[in-house]
Every structure is written in structure tokens, then in C-alpha cells.
Amino acid sequence: MRIRTLGCSGGIGAGSRTSAMLVDNDVLIDAGTGIGDLALEELHTIRHVFLTHAHLDHIAGLPMLVDANFEEHFEVPVTVYARSETLDAIQAHLFNDVIWPDFTKIPDEDNAMLQFRVCNPGDTVRIGHRNFNAVDVRHSVPSLGYTVRNSGGAFAVSGDTKTNETLWPALNACDDLRVLVIEVSFPDEQEELAAAAGHYTPTTMCRDLGRLHHDPEIWLTGMKPGQEETILRQVIKAAPGKNIRMLARGTVIDV
């Protein structure tokens, strides 16, 4: 698998793009503003989108992606996989014929360009040679992380989360875990805000990291713009000796 980072920031500005990772050339994990940098022919190859949750920084590009891929006589729809709460939210507030056309009914309900598929914690979706496994995490809204496995190993994406009891057993069950992409949005000085918003800080993330039985590459994502260097410095101090790096737009990871 080749994982290409299209966006990994907790906000926009100064070249920052929000959460989106392209797996090979046909699957997205989240659909934030980062997908807007793809060429039109690259957008046309995307037919599967796994959403972690319904917050705007993770779904902002989805309406435009569906629009870019629309053809009246299309062969393969765009399928979005997420918790039912997430799908209900984007149906009610996004694809509602007010904010954006309801592509779940275009060109007609029996043959719609946009398809929704409920993906609950514990579910596995196989697409080609890859298994996408949904993991419950703890955010301010119902959310998922994902582990993705092929014959070369597994990588994991935490999605937005704070300290939880569900992600780490799922990661420990991946004997071939090669890469962990984990969010840490706020510096330690904003721990109270982070807890209320459902996010890790360097200290809380590194404390949970001690529960991981494997030693994968660790990539940090979701940092608030302008806080990146502070957060990275605090993480490295809290977890000395760990293979930890900061994800950047354009980073490519091979598994």
C-alpha cells in the first residue's frame, strides 16, 4: 500500500490542509480540504471514502469530490463508509439540497452517484487487497479510527480522539502494525480545552502510547496551525527514544 498525505492539519492557512489520506489511488480516509490539491484525473479514480467522523475539517472536500466525479452515465458510484451517526449528519446538514445537492438521489434513487454504507466499530470492509477495520474511539461526537491491512503489514489511523479504552487493544491485536498515524491537536498548556474538545495533548497521548505493545513508525497529525513545533517538542520530551515524526502534506508512507 502507498499512503499519500493530502492534508494533516487541524486548520487552514499558510499552506495548511485538513485531514485526508489517499490509499493507493482509489480510497480516501477522510475528505478534508487536502483533496483539493489533487488533479482532476486523480479525483476521478477515488471511489471509496472512509470517514472518521462528521466534523467539517474531515468532510469539507466530500461534496466537491462527488461533484467532480459525477457523470450522468457513471459506472462506479462513490461509496462513503462511516458510523450511522456520521452518515445521518452529512445527509441532514450537507447533502440536503440546500447546502449541496443530494447526490444520494442523483441521477435517481435506484442508481445514485453517492452511496452510504454503515461501518460500525468492529466491522471490516475489504476493498481489493486491503482490509479496512473500524475501531471505536472517544471524541466529542461518535467517531472511528481505522486499521488497514494488506499482505505487507498494517497501518492505523486514530482519527480524532482523547484517552480511550478501545483503540489500544485493537492496535495490539495487529501483530504486523508498521505505521500509526495519531492525532495530537493541542499543546499541554491547553489540556483542559483538549479534554473538552475530545483531543489528545502530548502528555495524554504519550501516556496512552505506553500501552502499545508494538514499535511502529509514529506520525503525528491534526495539530492546530502555529502550534506544530511546540507540540512536537513536547511529544519528543514525553516519549524519548520513540520513532516519532510530524506528518506533513505530501508525506508518502509505504506499507
Residue 234 has pLDDT above 90, yes or no: yes
* DSSP summary character for residue 189: G
- The pLDDT assigned to 200 comes to 98
pLDDT in tens, 170-196: 999 999 999 999 999 999 999 999 999
Residue 206 has pLDDT above 90, yes or no: yes
Mean pLDDT of the chain: 96
Q: How confident is the model at residue 14 (pLDDT cuts 50, 70, 90)?
A: confident
- The pLDDT assigned to 248 comes to 95
**In this predicted model, which residue has the larger pLDDT, 147 or 15?**
147
Q: What is the mean predicted confidence (pLDDT) over 13-29? A: 95
CA distance 86 to 197: 17
Q: How confident is the model at residue 89 (pLDDT cuts 50, 70, 90)?
A: very high
Residue 2 has pLDDT above 90, yes or no: yes
Largest CA distance in the chain: 56
Cis peptide bond prior to 63, omega within 30° of 0: no
Q: What is the mean predicted confidence (pLDDT) over 82-110? A: 97
Residue 73 has pLDDT above 90, yes or no: no
CA distance 64 to 94: 11
* DSSP summary character for residue 127: E
Residue 77 has pLDDT above 90, yes or no: yes
Residue 72 has pLDDT above 90, yes or no: no
pLDDT in tens, 54-70: 999 999 999 999 999 99
Closest by alpha carbon to 13, among 228, 188, 232, 196? 228
Residue 216 has pLDDT above 90, yes or no: yes
Give all domains of the chain, ordered by start, each with its CATH number: 2-254 (3.60.15.10)
- The pLDDT assigned to 71 comes to 87
CA contacts within 13 A on the Cβ side of 189: 4
pTM: 0.97
Helices and strands in the chain, H and E counts: 8, 16
Element (H, E) at 91: helix 84-93
Residue indicated by cell numbers 462527488: 66
Q: What is the mean predicted confidence (pLDDT) over 227-244? A: 94
Grid cell, residue 151, equals: 499482505
